Amino acid sequence: MSQPRVLSGIQPTNGSFHLGNYLGAVKQWVDLQKSHDAFYCVVDLHALTSSPDPKELRQNTLTSIAQLLALGIDPEQSTLFLQSQVAEHNQLGWIMECLTGFGEASRMTQFKDKSQKVGNDRIGVGVFTYPMLMAADILLYQADQVPVGEDQRQHIELTRDLATRFNSQYGKTFTIPQGYILKEGAKIYDLQDPTSKMSKSAESMSGLIEILDTPETNSKKIKSAITDTGREVHFDAAEKPGISNLLTIFSTLSGRSISDIEAEFVGKGYGDFKGAVAEVVVEYLRPVRTKTLELLDDPVHLNAILKAGAEKAEVVARKTVAEVYERIGLIARG
Ligand code: AMP
Ligand code: TRP
C-alpha cells in the first residue's frame, strides 16, 4: 500500500535551529517520515527574499541540511533536498503566479505585515510572490499533507485555492493538500519572556536555546530562565508561564508525562528543577551538535546526500510539470 505523502520546507535563514524550530516543526517531520512518503526541503530560494549575504546563505543552507540529518531525518526514508537544486520549483512557481489574482496575493497577512514594516518602495516583489512559490513546492509533489506552523495556515489555504482553480480550469492535475497544523502544545516560549514565542528575532538571545550552541552556554541559559512566583513545579500556562514552558521542554525531550515530572519535584525548589531541565536539554542536544559538526566537516558526503535527494525529487517534479505544461497548452520539446 502506498503511504500518504507529506511535504514541508524550512528556510535556511539562521545558522542554528532553535529549540522552538525543533520541537515545533522538525520533530514532527522526523515522526511523520515513518508513516508517510515524506519530502522535505530547505527552501533556499525563499530565503533570497531577505537578501542574505551569499557566504552566509551558503553556510546556513548546508548547516540546515546537516542539522536535519543530525536530528533524525533519514535520507533513505525521506526525500531530503534543496529547493534551488530542482528547477521545476521555479517553472511551476511562474504558472502559479499567472493563476493568482493581484488582490488575492495582496491579502496575505505575512506580506501585508512585512510591507507595512518596510514600506512599498523597499519591499521586494519576491516577498509578494513568495506564497505562489510555496504553492509550487507543495503541488509539484502532489502532497496530501503539509505540516506547518499556524503562521502558514493562510498560505496553505491559497495553495488549496490555486490547486482547485487549476483543476477546474484545465482538468484534474493536482492533489488538493491539507494543512497539518502543528499543535499548540509544541509551541516553545522565550526563556526570559515566556509569553513570547522563542524566536531569533527576540531582542536578547538569553532566552533562546540554539541547537548548535555549546552545552555550557545552553545549560547556563536554562539555569537562568525566568521563573514565576511561588515555589511549586506545576503546569499552569496562565499563572506560571515560565515553569510551564520548562515543563513542556522537559516532557517532550524526555518522553515523560508532565504529571510524572511534577510528582518528582514535589517539595523541591525551582533551582533543582531547572538543573534537571538543563541536564535533559544538554544531553539531548550534545550528540546532535556533534553529528552536525561531523557532517559539515565532510562536504563530499553532504553533497552526495543532496545530489541523491535532488534526483529523487526531480523524478516526481518533472512528471508534474510535464502534465501541467501539456494541460495549459505549452508545447513539449520534441
Ligand atoms: P521560523 O524560522 O521562525 O519561520 O520557524 C520555522 C519553523 O519552526 C516553523 O514551522 C515554525 O512554526 C516553527 N517554530 C518557530 N518558532 C517556534 C516556537 N517558538 N515554538 C514552536 N515552533 C516554532
Ligand atoms: N513558508 C514556510 C515558512 O516560512 C516555508 C515553506 C516554503 C514551506 N515552502 C514550503 C513550508 C512548502 C511547507 C511547504 O515556514
> For residue 217, which amino acid is it?
T
Whole-number pLDDT of residue 322: 97
Whole-number pLDDT of residue 186: 72
Ligand nearest to the CA of 64: 1
Task: Please identify every residue annotated as catalytic.
Answer: 114, 197, 200
Ligand nearest to the CA of 42: 2
If 0-12 CB within 10 Å is exposed, 13-18 middle and 19+ buried, where does residue 193 land? middle
From first to last of its 334 residues, the chain has per-residue pLDDT tens of: 689 999 999 999 888 999 999 998 999 999 999 999 999 999 999 999 999 999 999 999 999 999 999 999 999 999 999 999 999 999 999 999 999 999 999 999 999 999 999 998 899 999 999 999 999 999 999 999 999 988 899 999 999 999 999 999 999 999 999 999 877 557 899 999 999 999 998 889 999 999 999 999 999 999 999 998 888 999 999 999 999 999 999 999 999 999 999 999 999 999 999 999 999 999 999 999 999 999 999 999 999 999 999 999 999 999 999 999 999 999 988 8
Q: Looking at the chain, how many residues does it have?
A: 334
CA distance 305 to 173: 30
- How many angstroms separate the alpha carbon of residue 138 from the centre of ligand 2? 9
pTM of the full structure: 0.95
Look at the alpha carbons of 164, 128, 329, 91 in this order and tell me if their dihedral is positive or negative: negative
Q: Is 148 in the pocket of ligand 1 (CB under 6 A)?
A: yes
Non-local CB neighbours of 185 within 8 Å, separated by 6+ positions? 248
Whole-number pLDDT of residue 1: 62
CA distance 228 to 226: 7
Report the atom number in ligand 1 closest to the C-alpha of 151.
12
19, 21, 244, best to mutate for ligand 1 pocket (most atoms within 8 Å of CB): 21
Whole-number pLDDT of residue 297: 98
If 0-12 CB within 10 Å is exposed, 13-18 middle and 19+ buried, where does residue 121 land? exposed
Q: Is 24 in the pocket of ligand 1 (CB under 6 A)?
A: yes
Residues with CB under 6 A from ligand 2: 7-9, 11, 43, 46, 134, 137-138, 146, 148, 152
Look at the alpha carbons of 75, 81, 87, 92 in this order and tell me if their dihedral is positive or negative: positive
Ligand nearest to the CA of 40: 2
108, 145, 152, 182, best to mutate for ligand 2 pocket (most atoms within 8 Å of CB): 152
CA distance 150 to 267: 37
Report the atom number in ligand 2 closest to the C-alpha of 131.
1
Report the atom number in ligand 2 closest to the C-alpha of 137.
12
Are 10 and 43 in contact by the 8 Å Cβ rule? The answer is yes
- How many angstroms separate the alpha carbon of residue 323 from the centre of ligand 1? 34
Q: Cell 504529571, residue? A: 259
